[in-house]
């Protein structure tokens, strides 16, 4: 009889441990799912931010190119002088290094 009671007790303990392990696995899976969802959301936000930053950079570059183009068309001699001066400075710095 004692062996029978011990078997029931062992079986009940095994069942409790098994249920506890299953609950732990379920909690971990739930936490992992929430973490994955959070990471996906953050990645989407970062992607949108990078896309917007790239678009703004392109717009600013286009504006700068337009400004330079208008300046060169309106002041060709000044632009030529500035280009010559910049080339001379770069050449001088390059020779020194």
Among all chains, which residue has been given the structure tokens 């079986």?
11
Q: Identify the residue whose tokens are 């337009």.
A: 66
* pLDDT given at position 16: 87
Q: What pLDDT does residue 92 have?
A: 94
- And the tokens for 26? 């379920």
CB 72 within 8 A of CB 79: yes
Give how far Cα 46 sits from Cα of 13, 50, 71, 76, Å. Answer: 49, 6, 37, 43
Q: Examine the pLDDT at 6 and tell me if it is beyond 60.
A: no
Give 71's contacts (C-beta < 8 A, 6+ positions apart): 78, 79
- The mean per-residue pLDDT over the stretch 15-37 comes to 89
Tens digits of residue pLDDT in 34-53: 999 999 999 999 999 999 99
């Amino acid at each position: 009889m004692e062996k029978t009671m011990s078997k029931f007790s062992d079986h009940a303990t095994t069942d409790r441990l098994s249920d506890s392990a299953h609950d732990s696995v379920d909690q971990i899976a739930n936490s992992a799912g929430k973490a994955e969802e959070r990471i996906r959301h953050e990645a989407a936000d970062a992607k949108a931010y990078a896309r917007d930053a790239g678009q703004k950079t392109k717009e600013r570059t286009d504006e700068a190119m337009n400004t330079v183009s208008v300046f060169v068309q309106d002041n060709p001699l000044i632009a030529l002088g500035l280009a010559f001066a910049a080339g001379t400075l770069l050449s001088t710095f390059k020779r020194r290094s």
